[in-house]
Amino acid sequence: MHQKKLDDFRQSKLDEMTISDMQQELSEGHVTSEELVLMYFENISLRDQTIHAVLEINPDALQIAQALDFERKHKGPRSALHGIPVLVKDNMDTADKMHTSAGSRALKDHYALKDAKVVEQLRKAGAVILGKTNMTEWANFLSDKLPNGFSSRGGQTKNPYGSFEVGGSSSGSAAAVASNLAAAALGTETSGSIINPAMQNSLVGIKPTVGLISRQGIIPVSHTQDIPGPLARTIKDAVAVFASLIAVDPNDPITVLAEPFEKYDWSIHFKEGGLQGVKLGIPRMLFEDNITDEQRVLFENALEELRACGAEIIEDVDLGADQEDLGFAVLLHEFKANANDYLGKSNPLNSVRSLEDVLAYNTKHPQEMLRYGQNLMEQANSTTGKLNEREYIEALERNRYLAAEQGISDTLKQVGADALILPKDYGFNIGAAAGFPSIAVPYGLTESKEPFGITFTGKAFSEPQLIEYAYAFEQATKGRIKP
């Protein structure tokens, strides 16, 4: 950088700075939001050449930051996010000069006409939308052979820790935050797409209860399971972003359930003793056959840390179902209906109006689009899109019963546990199918230097408790390790 002051700040202070640290620097006049944007641009230009996490930069970011600096000076900050640069996943509509494409070249020229509700909420809080992140194309609903983090528009996002899985489908959001290319980022989850990349990149990831945050303006997969959430380096950072997203949205009717949390004080749950007397159940059946020896050792160490924090561990909890019991039919049927709805209502200048159009575009450009095929999208397109098939209705009811009612709610009650605890993202399908919340917390690296962490999962709208547990564990272990 030409400005020595900024380059010194960038190299000596910016990496791993928390949002509250940035706010203090901003309030004391040591740095401006405009300068934060410039420093993150520099990091992106230097570090992202090998990571490929950022798909495009917001051309207006610098001027937005300048306006927010002016506002801070004359009116004060709007919120904890005022002037803070954040990235958003490329399936989130932004009514600006950036595209919204779900990573697909079929939508490379698509401009959204309106902000997604979560983007609107970020802007309202005073955050600077720094750019869009790469993602697994169509949120992993193109082909079952598609690698996590690959898209035809952005190429392959790589894990900044080495030749490990980067995680999907919020791959770019996770890799960017892990690499200190932004203060935080938004991802989305249908089934594991926040928790998995958080684990693979030594990050905190909050997958909220379905109903707490609006999905309006996000290119969808499943209206029963989709949910946006933050990826950040600390619990407090993740909660700062998470809190800003909560709002009742008439365009997403289930968000009426968010009303009690719209002005909620999440800071009361930042307790170092938050695990004292808490009972955590381990459904070992979800991971015993798949966990590696290295992961097992780290998980057992994490359990000892939890006990040292005052938690009681309840062993061998039986959820009555495993991930194989949850059918894929719900996602297959809902994807067609939801994709057609989104594309059909998109910018009139967008020539791609349906899932059929996407398939046709891909077939017409096989070298660019069909490197890994499109079998999942073809399967989804073979459904009627009317959501009236017996296969769909039966799968929907079965998933909700096995995962939510029987799997988590009844089990927690029967064994007297407050939440479930799992290594990495094992068992994520259960919480995803239930629409229940999970929080990923980093816990060091394996001997091969691959990130590891644990996941807290609870019943619907138990985010206050999960945040308390996750914060206490984070403070006791300091498990985040910079790549």
Give the active site residues. Answer: 89, 169, 193
Q: For the chain, state the CA radius of gyration.
A: 21
Compute the distance between CA of residue 458 and CA of residue 439 in angstroms, rounded to an integer.
Answer: 9
Name residue 39's amino acid.
M
Phi (first) and psi of residue 340, to 5 degrees: -65, -40
- What's the token pair of residue 167? 């995680």
Phi (first) and psi of residue 97, to 5 degrees: -90, 5
Q: What is the 3-state secondary structure (H, E, C) of the chain?
A: CCCHHHHHHHHHHHCCCCHHHHHHHHHCCCCCHHHHHHHHHHHHHHHHHHHCCEEEECCCHHHHHHHHHHHHHHHCCCCCCCCCEEEEECCECCCCCCCCCCCCHHHCCCCCCCCCHHHHHHHHHCCEEEEEECCCHHHHCCCCCCCCCEECCCEECCCCCCCCCCCCCCHHHHHHHHCCCCCEEEEEECCCCCHHHHHHCCCEEEECCCCCECCCCECCCCCCCCEEEEEECCHHHHHHHHHHHECCCCCCHHHHHHHHHCCCCHHHHCCCCCCCCCEEECCHHHCCCCCCHHHHHHHHHHHHHHHHCCCEEECCCCCCCCHHHCCCHHHHHHHHHHHHHHHHCCCCCCCCCCHHHHHHHHHHCHHHHCCCCCHHHHHHHCCCCCCCCHHHHHHHHHHHHHHHHHHHHHHHHHHCCCEEEEECCCCHHHHHHHCCCEEEEEEEECCCCCEEEEEEECCCCCHHHHHHHHHHHHHHHCCCCCC
Compute the distance between CA of residue 480 and CA of residue 257 in angstroms, rounded to an integer.
Answer: 33
- What's the token pair of residue 376? 């999942």
Distance of CA 381 to the CA centre of its chain: 26
List CB contacts of 414: < 8 A, sequence separation 6 or more: none
